[in-house]
Structure 1
Amino acid sequence: MVEIYGIKNCNTVKKALDWLAEHEISYTFHDFKKEPAREEKLTEWSKKVSWEQLVNKKGTTWRKLSKEEQDNVKDFSSGIQILLQHNSMIKRPIIEYNDLILLGFDDNVYLSTLKLPH
């Protein structure tokens, strides 16, 4: 089963959800606006991808932080804490499939990883 985490109105999340629907892959969607990410989940993900990859430094939320706040995000602990405070800063979507974690949307990666038999 595919688990997908993100924010419904995020364009990248929409692309991923559309792709899953188009390829008839069933999934469970977890909306950070309704189900904020928990520390345990962020820690679990960071064992498979680095905590740095989880922090979306290209997004609006990151840019709204002060320079001091940005500079204080320098290790696992501070990275997880900022993500707990600002779930919208988590790179999206996050897809869990089997033992894999996929970040963002990439058609080729999805095709090679998620193409399941119907």
Structure 2
Amino acid sequence: MKVTFYWYPKCGTCRKAKKWLDEHQVSYQEIHIVENPPSREELENFHQKSGLSLNKFFNTSGQKYRELGLKDKMKTASEQELLDLLASDGMLMKRPILTDGEKVTVGFNEESFEKMWL
């Protein structure tokens, strides 16, 4: 199984996830989420396959999220508007995002990684 690993190298959570993948010998292709963010279509696909609320794809503790005042916009924005926002800037995305084309995880949680990627 080859996993696509969208990450930001300066992100501590991403580094923990990468270390976990390496330790468990999970084969992956890494993609820098800021330099090569997933497209709007890919994000829509990730959202559908993950079963998560679109809000879970946002890096709510990020500087960009706060600068844009997204906390308030999240309540009234349509799904299409939220997808457009996410696709506009890799720094707005919660990371890492992992997918094998069928399954998707957002963020790093050891328990969910064990269920999904082992």
Instruction: Give TM class, smaller chain.
Output: 0.7 to 0.9
Q: How does 1:1-118 map to 2 (within 5 A)?
A: 1-48=2-49, 49-66=52-69, 70-73=71-74, 74-97=77-100, 99-115=102-118
Number of paired residues?
A: 113
> Partner of 1:18: helix, strand, or coil?
helix
Larger Rg: 1
**Alpha carbons 2:86, 2:93 under 8 Å: kept:** yes
> Partner of 1:47: helix, strand, or coil?
helix
Give the unaligned 5+ runs of structure 2. Answer: none
Give the unaligned 5+ runs of structure 1. Answer: none
Identical aligned residues as a percent: 26
Letter in structure 2 aligned against 1:43: E
TM-score of the two chains, using structure 1 as the length reference: 0.84
**Alpha carbons 1:93, 1:104 under 8 Å: kept:** yes
TM-score of the two chains, using structure 2 as the length reference: 0.84
Tell me by how many angstroms 1:88 deviates. Answer: 0.6
- CA distance in structure 2 between the partners assigned to 1:55 and 1:75 by the alignment: 14
**Alpha carbons 1:55, 1:79 under 8 Å: kept:** no
Letter in structure 2 aligned against 1:60: Q
Question: Which whole-Å deviations, capped at 9, do the CAs of 1:61-111 have from their partners, x for residues lacking one?
Answer: 211224xx5433422111112112221111111111351111111111112
Which is helix-richer, 1 or 2? 2
Q: RMSD between aligned alpha carbons?
A: 1.7
